[in-house]
Amino acid sequence: MNLETRYMGLKLENPLVASASSLSYTLDGVRKLAASGVGAIVMHSLFEEEITGEADRRARLLEAGTESYAESLSYFPETTPQRASKRYLGLLERAVKLSRVPVIGSLNASAPGAWIAHAQEIESAGAAAIELNTYMLPASVEIDGRSVEAVHVELLQMVKSAVHVPVAVKLNPFFSSMGEIAVRLDAAGADALVLFARFVHPDIDPERIRIVPGIGLSNPYESRLSRTWISHLHGKIGASLAGATGVDQAEDVVKYLLAGADAVMSASALLRHGPAHARVILDSMIAWMERKGFQSLADFRGLLARPEGEDGTAAERAEYVDALRSANANFHGPW
């Protein structure tokens, strides 16, 4: 049974990719992921805020020390982003050496210069590719939608011009026209689009009257929106497509592949069940393929993608109406 796939030019043994998570915070975690059978590993994100935050703390210590001891200037290392990100890059280098599958660096920044500098560092550390985790919630009412789109396109162009490895863009689902921004990013050189990042939605504690931050693990229901857009984009752009939400069992991976995904990413399932769950998913995929008579992913990838030339908007509208009719016919309360 052939599970091989190509994702942004990388040859993967299978389409299941360990997405960025706390599992890759340690070398032991990376080792377990590498041994689990996944086709590739996305390292946890390098956040610009972590780098600048550490640099600021060191700067404050340095400033406080010089008030008492002039020689304290020699006690603290130079406070540069390169030095502050050394731990991440060191872990990435070791991960690349021990893993037999491609290791992809993940970057989440805000300042243009930071994106470029850290992307180059990640490339130098040996990453097979870079995933740009573009977590941006335009909460200000003064930011227009076109400006948000322009930021993503310009960011990609800057990073692509600075590195030679493939670059993926992990998007959120809240663009006014997902299809158009996908096409624009594809034209700007994106090697892959990852659909979708999950926003951190804080809750409210009414007893303590406070906002409660946090994020939960995804569930299979959340994958529907990602699969919908992958099915619309399959065959219409050159960039690879990866599904990245709601993957828990083999059938979730299969659904993404039927929609047209080139790779399927999972973090919540590996956190919930452990890295060894990847092997369970892959074995179940093989069993499904055998039952259906498929010998390779190419035999069924994109079978349920939107046909070329179909009016996707009209099709979605028709399905929406059918779903409401079905709900009205099947869901009745006792009142």
Mean pLDDT of the chain: 85
Q: Is the pLDDT of residue 55 over 60?
A: no
- Are 122 and 89 contacting, i.e. CB atoms less than 8 angstroms apart? yes
Which residue type sits at 272?
R
pLDDT tens profile 159-194? 999 999 999 999 988 898 999 999 999 999 999 999
Decide if 335 is inside a domain: no
Decide if 167 is inside a domain: yes
Decide if 293 is inside a domain: yes
**Backbone phi, psi, residue 283, to 5°:** -65, -40
When comparing pLDDT for 82 and 221, which is higher? Answer: 221
Decide if 199 is inside a domain: yes
Average pLDDT value for residue range 72-89: 55
- Are 173 and 229 contacting, i.e. CB atoms less than 8 angstroms apart? yes
Query: How many C-beta atoms surround the C-beta of residue 56 within 10 A?
Result: 12
- Check residue 186 and give its pLDDT: 98
CA separation for the pair 230, 69 (Å, rounded): 60
Average pLDDT value for residue range 47-73: 45
Region of poorest pLDDT, from 31-45, 128-142, 231-245, 297-311? 128-142
Average pLDDT value for residue range 57-70: 40
- Check residue 317 and give its pLDDT: 65
**Secondary structure percentages of the chain, helix, strand, coil, to 5:** 50, 15, 35
Decide if 168 is inside a domain: yes
Decide if 160 is inside a domain: yes
pLDDT tens profile 283-333? 999 999 999 999 999 999 999 998 877 766 666 666 655 665 676 667 666
- Check residue 198 and give its pLDDT: 78
Decide if 285 is inside a domain: yes
Decide if 108 is inside a domain: yes
- Are 7 and 240 contacting, i.e. CB atoms less than 8 angstroms apart? yes
pTM: 0.84
Query: Which CATH number belongs to the domain containing residue 75 in this structure?
Result: 3.20.20.70
Give the number of domains in the chain. Answer: 1
- Check residue 259 and give its pLDDT: 98
pLDDT tens profile 199-220? 767 889 999 999 987 777 888 8
CA separation for the pair 149, 178 (Å, rounded): 10
Q: Is the pLDDT of residue 56 over 50?
A: no
Query: How many C-beta atoms surround the C-beta of residue 326 within 10 A?
Result: 10
CA distances from 320 to 7, 14, 179, 231, 316 (A): 32, 34, 19, 16, 6
Task: Give the confidence band of 72 by pLDDT, cuts at 50, 70, 90.
Answer: very low
- Check residue 181 and give its pLDDT: 96
The parent domain of residue 111 ranges over 5-330
**Backbone phi, psi, residue 205, to 5°:** -95, 105
- Check residue 322 and give its pLDDT: 63
